[in-house]
């Protein structure tokens, strides 16, 4: 599934584009050989969801030139205006979503995103997540008032199981706990203390030996284990959350309150737990393999990834049909293109791993696996003495 969402400053419109692939896939071709359907959703009329039907078919956009990208990135004088523009666009998107409540996967987009990218947790967690971030970005008290008014009905009091692209609840609670710990720079924050308590409870459930620790959620080798398919997404996202909360606690000189027995967990313990997860990903595990492609001597070489498994247009300029492409999917040959830096779905609950393209739950890489890990690695790179 290849998809992206484009923000717009038009109040009544958002847009998206996707290649609606399935499992088993109907076609196995690299993205550069594949056409994508684009959607022009319009929410000019009330009622969820804000999702339209495919309107055109176009090739994926060309990747921007690196030179142009770096030029814009280094123009610091435009940062202020650019940031303000992004916040304004985010506010418009939030207002649109709040006015037209509903899940994006419940409408015309369902056939393209389900079952793999359905919104199983609902849409309410995204509204709270957005409001919390908009408050932090803008300082506008309106968004904090929104959190207070809508928190209960939008899942703020629900139990937390995981942090992922689909379920943002615990991420929102940790972000709001930061405001409590900082006392929002002296301002009164009535009603937010439960977010700190919920954050503590979730964090304590992850730390072995702490009161509230939930046994059975780690593999024998020590990897956090949530789901059988692409489990590494939960590992990287949770590890990011551990480090963020450790930073918030340390800045406030606080600890995570775990209740009876061993009632406190210090920030250093959260950092140590996060470090163990990173070490496991990079090769310190029973299988002795790195789950980051290209890192170390042993790593996955048969990714469930069209671009990695198939020859480039330069190497194979002739057209490769949908059915012809399956020969590459089922081949035992190593990838034609090494997807350096990609992190795959990872091992099973017993630390077992099969390097096979057909085992997509273990060998498929994803942006939502890598994205949290970037922040985690940046943290350790910045705090490690070489």
Cβ-Cβ contacts under 8 Å for 43 (sequence gap 6 or more): 12, 13, 14, 50, 96, 99, 100
304 is known as an active-site residue? yes
316 assigned to active site:
no
Structure tokens at 221: 């080798």
Query: From the candidates 100, 135, 304, 305, which is the catalytic residue?
Result: 304
Q: Distance between CA 294 and CA 303 in Å, rounded? A: 12
Using CA atoms, how far apart are residues 11 and 173, in angstroms rounded to an integer?
28
Instruction: Enter the pTM of the model.
Output: 0.84
Place of tokens 């002739």: 318
For 81, the enclosing helix (H) or strand (E) is helix 79-99
Instruction: Give the C-alpha separation, 292 to 296, whole Å.
Output: 8
Using alpha carbons only, how large is the chain's radius of gyration in Å? 22
Q: Could you report the per-residue pLDDT of 318-366, keeping only the tens digit for each? A: 888 888 889 999 999 999 999 999 999 999 999 999 999 999 999 999 9
Token pair 């037209």 is found at: 100
CA 162 to chain centroid: 11
Report the pLDDT value the prediction gives residue 11, as an integer from 0 to 100: 55
Is 135 annotated in the active site? no
Least confident of 111-120, 173-182, 300-309, 371-380: 111-120
Q: Report the run of H or E that residue 186 belongs to, with start and end.
A: helix 169-186
Tell me the pLDDT tens digit for each residue of 221-268: 999 999 889 999 999 999 999 999 999 999 999 999 998 777 899 999
Among residues 16, 59, 14, 22, which one has the least CA distance to residue 38? 16
Judge whether 213 and 207 are in contact, CB under 8 Å: yes
Average pLDDT over residues 30-48: 50
Q: Tokens in use for 338? A: 């090494």
Active-site residue, selected from the candidate residues 154, 184, 200, 364: 364
């Amino acid at each position: 599934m290849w998809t992206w969402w484009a923000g717009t400053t038009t109040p009544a419109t958002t847009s998206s584009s996707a290649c609606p692939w399935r499992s088993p896939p109907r076609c196995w071709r690299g993205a550069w050989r594949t056409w994508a359907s684009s959607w022009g959703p319009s929410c000019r009329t009330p009622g969820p969801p804000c999702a339209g039907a495919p309107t055109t078919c176009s090739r994926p956009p060309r990747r921007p030139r690196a030179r142009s990208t770096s030029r814009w990135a280094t123009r610091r004088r435009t940062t202020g205006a650019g940031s303000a523009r992004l916040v304004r666009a985010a506010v418009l998107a939030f207002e649109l979503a709040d006015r037209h409540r509903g899940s994006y996967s419940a409408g015309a987009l369902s056939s393209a995103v389900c079952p793999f990218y359905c919104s199983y947790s609902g849409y309410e967690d995204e509204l709270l997540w957005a409001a919390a971030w908009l408050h932090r970005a803008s300082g506008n008290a309106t968004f904090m008032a929104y959190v207070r008014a809508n928190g209960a009905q939008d899942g703020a009091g629900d139990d937390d199981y995981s942090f992922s692209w689909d379920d943002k609840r615990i991420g929102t609670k940790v972000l709001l706990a930061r405001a409590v710990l900082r006392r929002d720079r002296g301002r009164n924050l009535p009603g937010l203390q439960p977010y700190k308590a919920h954050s503590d409870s979730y964090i304590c459930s992850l730390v072995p030996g702490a009161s509230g620790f939930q046994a059975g959620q780690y593999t024998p080798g020590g990897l956090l284990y949530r789901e059988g398919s692409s489990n590494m997404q939960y590992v990287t996202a949770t590890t990011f959350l551990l480090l963020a909360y450790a930073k918030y606690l340390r800045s406030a000189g606080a600890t995570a309150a775990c209740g009876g027995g061993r009632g406190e967990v210090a920030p250093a313990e959260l950092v140590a737990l996060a470090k163990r997860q990173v070490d496991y990903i990079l090769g310190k595990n029973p299988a002795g393999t790195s789950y980051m492609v290209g890192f170390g001597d042993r790593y996955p070489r048969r990714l469930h990834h069209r671009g990695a498994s198939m020859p480039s247009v330069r190497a194979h300029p002739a057209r490769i049909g949908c059915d012809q492409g399956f020969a590459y999917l089922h081949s035992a040959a190593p990838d034609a293109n090494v997807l350096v830096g990609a992190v795959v779905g990872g091992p099973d609950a017993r630390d077992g791993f099969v390097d096979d393209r057909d085992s997509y739950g273990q060998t498929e890489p994803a942006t939502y696996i890598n994205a949290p890990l970037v922040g985690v690695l940046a943290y350790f790179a910045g705090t490690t003495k070489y």
